[in-house]
Amino acid sequence: MNFFIKTFGCIQNTADSERIKTFYWNEGFIETDDWKKSDLVIINTCIIRESAENRVYGLINEIDKWNIKNNKHIKIIVTGCLAGLAHKDKTGKKLSQLKRDFPAVSEFLPIEKISFEIEPLRGKSEIALIPISFGCSNFCSYCIVPFAKGPEISRKIEAILNDIDKAIKDDFKQVMLIGQNVNSYGNDFTEATLVSMGKKRFKSLFPKLLEEVAKKDLEKISFVSSNPWDFSDELIETIAKNSNIDRLLHLPFQAGDDDVLKNMNRGYTSKEYLELVEKIRSKIPDVRFSTDIIIGFPGEDEKAFENTVELCKKAKFEIAYINKYSPRKGTVSAKLYKDEIPMKEKKRRWIILNDLINKK
Ligand code: SF4
Query: Ligand 1 center to residue 144 CA distance, Å?
Result: 8
- Tell me, yes or no, whether 254 lies in a domain: yes
Query: Ligand 1 center to residue 265 CA distance, Å?
Result: 10
Mean pLDDT of the chain: 92
Q: Which domain holds residue 107?
A: 2-113
% of the chain with per-residue pLDDT over 70? 96
Question: Would the CB of 228 count as within 6 Å of ligand 1?
Answer: no
Question: Would the CB of 143 count as within 6 Å of ligand 1?
Answer: yes
> Which pLDDT score is estimated for 197?
63
| Residue 283 to residue 253: CA distance in whole angstroms | 20
Q: Report the chain's C-alpha Rg in angstroms.
A: 21
pLDDT digits (tens, 9 = 90+) for 8-30: 988 889 999 998 998 899 889 99
Question: Would the CB of 182 count as within 6 Å of ligand 1?
Answer: no
Asked if residue 175 and residue 102 are part of one domain, the reply reads: no
Query: Ligand 1 center to residue 129 CA distance, Å?
Result: 19
Domain boundary (113, 144, 175) is at 113
> Which pLDDT score is estimated for 326?
92
Question: Would the CB of 264 count as within 6 Å of ligand 1?
Answer: no
Domain boundary (67, 89, 113) is at 113
Whether 340 shows a pLDDT value over 60: the answer reads yes
Asked if residue 186 and residue 325 are part of one domain, the reply reads: yes
Asked if residue 131 and residue 107 are part of one domain, the reply reads: no
- Tell me, yes or no, whether 121 lies in a domain: no
> Which pLDDT score is estimated for 201?
63
> Which pLDDT score is estimated for 310?
98
Choose among 151, 215, 157, 141: nearest CA to 181: 151
120, 165 Cβ separation under 8 angstroms: no
Number of domains in the chain: 2
| Residue 214 to residue 129: CA distance in whole angstroms | 15
Question: Would the CB of 145 count as within 6 Å of ligand 1?
Answer: yes
Whether 349 shows a pLDDT value over 80: the answer reads yes
- Tell me, yes or no, whether 307 lies in a domain: yes
> Which pLDDT score is estimated for 198?
60
Query: Ligand 1 center to residue 12 CA distance, Å?
Result: 13
Asked if residue 85 and residue 220 are part of one domain, the reply reads: no
pLDDT digits (tens, 9 = 90+) for 158-198: 999 999 999 999 999 999 999 999 999 988 876 645 656 66
Query: Ligand 1 center to residue 226 CA distance, Å?
Result: 10
Query: Ligand 1 center to residue 146 CA distance, Å?
Result: 7
Instruction: State the DSSP H helix or E strand holding residue 307, giving kind and residue range, or none if neither.
Output: helix 302-315
Asked if residue 93 and residue 199 are part of one domain, the reply reads: no
> How many C-beta neighbours within 10 Å does residue 345 have?
16
- Ligand 1: which atom is nearest the Cα of residue 146? 7
pLDDT digits (tens, 9 = 90+) for 190-249: 664 565 666 666 678 999 999 999 999 999 999 999 999 899 999 999 999 999 999 999
| Residue 5 to residue 21: CA distance in whole angstroms | 8
Model confidence at 122, pLDDT cuts 50, 70, 90, reads confident
Between 34 and 199, residue with greater pLDDT: 34
> Which pLDDT score is estimated for 119?
76
Average pLDDT score over residue span 89-108? 92
Domain boundary (113, 144, 165) is at 113
| CATH number, domain containing residue 94 | 3.40.50.12160
> Which pLDDT score is estimated for 92?
87
Model confidence at 304, pLDDT cuts 50, 70, 90, reads very high
- Tell me, yes or no, whether 119 lies in a domain: no
Residue 34, burial from CB neighbour count under 10 angstroms (0-12, 13-18, 19+): exposed
- Tell me, yes or no, whether 242 lies in a domain: yes
Question: Would the CB of 227 count as within 6 Å of ligand 1?
Answer: yes
Asked if residue 255 and residue 190 are part of one domain, the reply reads: yes
- Tell me, yes or no, whether 24 lies in a domain: yes
> Which pLDDT score is estimated for 133?
93
Question: What residues contact 188, with CB distance under 8 A and at least 6 apart?
Answer: 151, 152, 153, 154, 202
Peptide bond into 225 cis (omega under 30): yes
Asked if residue 138 and residue 48 are part of one domain, the reply reads: no
- Tell me, yes or no, whether 335 lies in a domain: yes
Question: Would the CB of 323 count as within 6 Å of ligand 1?
Answer: no
User: The whole model's pTM is what?
Assistant: 0.89
Asked if residue 162 and residue 97 are part of one domain, the reply reads: no
- Tell me, yes or no, whether 122 lies in a domain: no
Asked if residue 146 and residue 92 are part of one domain, the reply reads: no
> Which pLDDT score is estimated for 199?
61
Query: Ligand 1 center to residue 136 CA distance, Å?
Result: 6
Average pLDDT score over residue span 280-306? 97
Whether 124 shows a pLDDT value over 90: the answer reads no
Query: Which amino acid, residue 25?
Result: W
- Ligand 1: which atom is nearest the Cα of residue 143? 8
> Which pLDDT score is estimated for 110?
87
Between 189 and 335, residue with greater pLDDT: 335
Question: Would the CB of 138 count as within 6 Å of ligand 1?
Answer: yes
| CATH number, domain containing residue 336 | 3.80.30.20
Asked if residue 276 and residue 197 are part of one domain, the reply reads: yes
Name the residue with the closest Cα to ligand 1, atom 8: 143
% of the chain with per-residue pLDDT over 90? 78
Average pLDDT score over residue span 324-342? 94
Query: Ligand 1 center to residue 138 CA distance, Å?
Result: 6
Asked if residue 182 and residue 96 are part of one domain, the reply reads: no
Long-range contacts of 135-138 (CB under 8 A, 24+ apart): 135/180, 136/180, 136/181, 137/181, 137/184, 137/187, 138/180, 138/181, 138/199, 138/227, 138/265
Whether 140 shows a pLDDT value over 90: the answer reads yes
Name the residue with the closest Cα to ligand 1, atom 5: 180
Asked if residue 267 and residue 336 are part of one domain, the reply reads: yes
Query: Ligand 1 center to residue 39 CA distance, Å?
Result: 35
